[in-house]
Structure 1
């Protein structure tokens, strides 16, 4: 039986976070976007936990982040424990009179073993699976400076020939310069940007945020990237952008090369470049862009359940 417990008790059992988006620091930053937080644990089993945001009688993980997911005591929690937890989650939603529970799991690099068990149990228990989103990550352990497509390397050499420079910037003015490059790029492509510079700097108060800035030989700002370092082995790419009028200089390829090399030297294993689809609808061009920059393509899963789609059959988790 799942119980909504206090933060103090919850963190007594779950003191590490599989991803930064279910850390107390991050949840505290976005808590004002939900009515309240609910922390669910079986007080007898104590090996799996889930923090959900409640809004309009719907429970969500995440409620303001790319993905949410579960806490657990270790990666080898028994399948039957996971199955029973999700069974009890359905009972909790039903008994409390909530309309729905929605959970987006992290990409595989964050928790490959647990994802396989959770996804299987979600399906067997009758949760509805949304069309999976296309997810792209760079395996830095495999990156050796060679590219899937030769033109990427050619563009990098062109950028170097034109004396482009790339550096991490930390002062207030340069961070604004980096954000402005990205903002202009989004406007020119008629794409929305859902975070202000102030939003990003608030995140920087709880986890490191890196601002990359590319300049041309005249010192003009022509490319930028913003990345989160909220995980010990995985960096998350938030924004990339360039001056579209000067794109022929190879700005983005040069920027990506410098970012990969920087985080590989810092001994990170992966760069999470996020999804390349929206609600399951693929952005073919974006997938191609990421894959020619050595990304591995996988799936990110979202499941939901409400009392209206309950299953009448029973499943034995040991089978």
Structure 2
């Protein structure tokens, strides 16, 4: 049986986080976006735990993040520990008269062993699997400046030839410029952006946030990237975009190249470049673009169950 525990009790058993989106600092910042937050553990076993938000009578992990998932004492949990927790999760939903539960797991980059067992257990326990989202990540350990296709380096040279420059920016005006590029890019594609610049600046209080700009020869921002450094070995790309009418200048090729070198030099092993799909619908061009830049393509799973 799962029981709700206080933060102090929960954290006595789970002192580290598989990723930043289930850390106390992040949860504390977004907890006002759900009706109630709960920390769940088994009554007789502290091997696994779940922080989730109840929103519209549905238990959600995450309730305001790209992905959520479980805490665990170590990644090599026995299968029955995982399957029993998921069975108890269904019982908790029933007992509390909730409408259902939804869990989006982190990509395999963060926890391959746990994901394999969790996915199997979710399916065997009768959960419904949504069409998996396609996500991409880059292995910086093996990055040597060579790309999957030579056209990437050709486009980087084109960018330099046209006077484009890349830089990490720290002043407020440049951060505003970077956000404006991202905003324009989303608008041009008819996509919503769910974070304001103020939201990103607020995030800087709990995790390092890096803003990058590609400028043209006149100093105008035409490409941008925003990243979180919330993991010891994995840096997370939150937003990347360019001015689409100038895309043929190689803006994003230059962005990827310099970001890869930048974070490799900082000692990071991987860059999580997020999803290349929306609610399971693949963005074929974006997948291809990331794979040209040596990215590995994998899946991100969401499971749900209703009584």
> Considering the TM-score relative to the shorter chain, is it more than 0.5?
yes
What aligned pairs does 1:49-198 form with structure 2 within 5 A after superposition? Answer: 49-198=49-198
1:240-292 Cα shifts (integer Å, max 9, x gaps): 12233332321110011000110111111111111111221211111111111
1:162-200 Cα shifts (integer Å, max 9, x gaps): 332211111111111111122122223332222110111
- 2-side partners of 1:11 and 1:157: how far apart? 50
Q: CA deviation at 1:218?
A: 2.6
**Structure 1: gaps spanning 5 or more residues:** 308-319
SS of residue paired to 2:238: strand
TM (norm. structure 2) is 0.97
- 1-side partners of 2:43 and 2:7: how far apart? 14
**Structure 2: gaps spanning 5 or more residues:** none
Alignment partner, residue 315 of structure 1: none
- The number of aligned residues is 307
Larger displacement relative to structure 2 (275-284 or 48-57): 275-284
- 1-side partners of 2:144 and 2:17: how far apart? 30
- 2-side partners of 1:79 and 1:142: how far apart? 32
TM (norm. structure 1) is 0.93
- 2-side partners of 1:93 and 1:193: how far apart? 32
1:100-122 Cα shifts (integer Å, max 9, x gaps): 01000000010111111111111
SS of residue paired to 1:237: strand
What aligned pairs does 1:1-319 form with structure 2 within 5 A after superposition? Answer: 1-307=1-307
SS of residue paired to 1:227: strand
When the two chains are superposed, the root-mean-square deviation of aligned CA atoms in Å is 1.2
SS of residue paired to 2:192: coil
SS of residue paired to 2:131: coil
SS of residue paired to 2:123: helix
Q: CA deviation at 1:306?
A: 1.4
- 1-side partners of 2:32 and 2:150: how far apart? 47
